[in-house]
Amino acid sequence: MAESMRDIKRRIGSVQNMKQITKAFEMVSAAKLRRAQEKAESARPYAEKIREVIASIAGGTQGVQHPMLVSRPVKKTGYLVITSDRGLAGGFNANLLRSLAKTVAERHQSKDEYVIFVIGRKGRDFLMRRGYPVIEDVTDLSDSPEFSDIRSIAKKAIDMFADEEYDELYLYYNEFINQITQRPLEKRVLPLADMESNEEESGPQALYEYEPSAEEVLAELLPRYATTLIYSALLESKASEHGARMSAMGNASDNASDMIETLTLQYNRARQAAITQELAEIVGGASALE
> What are the chain's domains?
2-26+248-284 (1.10.287.80), 41-245 (3.40.1380.10)
Between 126 and 46, the higher pLDDT residue: 126
Buried residues in 79-110 as b, exposed as e (16+ CB within 10 A) = bbbbbbbeeebbebbeebbebbeebbeeeeee
pLDDT band of 97, cuts 50, 70, 90? very high
For residue 104, pLDDT over 90 is answered with: yes
**Beta sheet of 182-190, edge-to-edge order:** 134-138, 114-119, 77-82, 168-176, 182-190
Q: 46 versus 268: which is more confidently predicted?
A: 268
Of 31-40, 45-54, 86-95, 251-260, give the lowest mean pLDDT range: 45-54
Average pLDDT over residues 74-87: 93
Asked if residues 17 and 260 have their Cβ atoms less than 8 Å apart, the reply is no
pLDDT-derived band at 1, boundaries 50, 70, 90:
very low
Q: Are strands 168-176 and 134-138 parallel, antiparallel or unpaired?
A: unpaired
Does residue 62 register a pLDDT over 80? no
d(CA 280, CA 273): 10
Mean pLDDT of the chain: 85
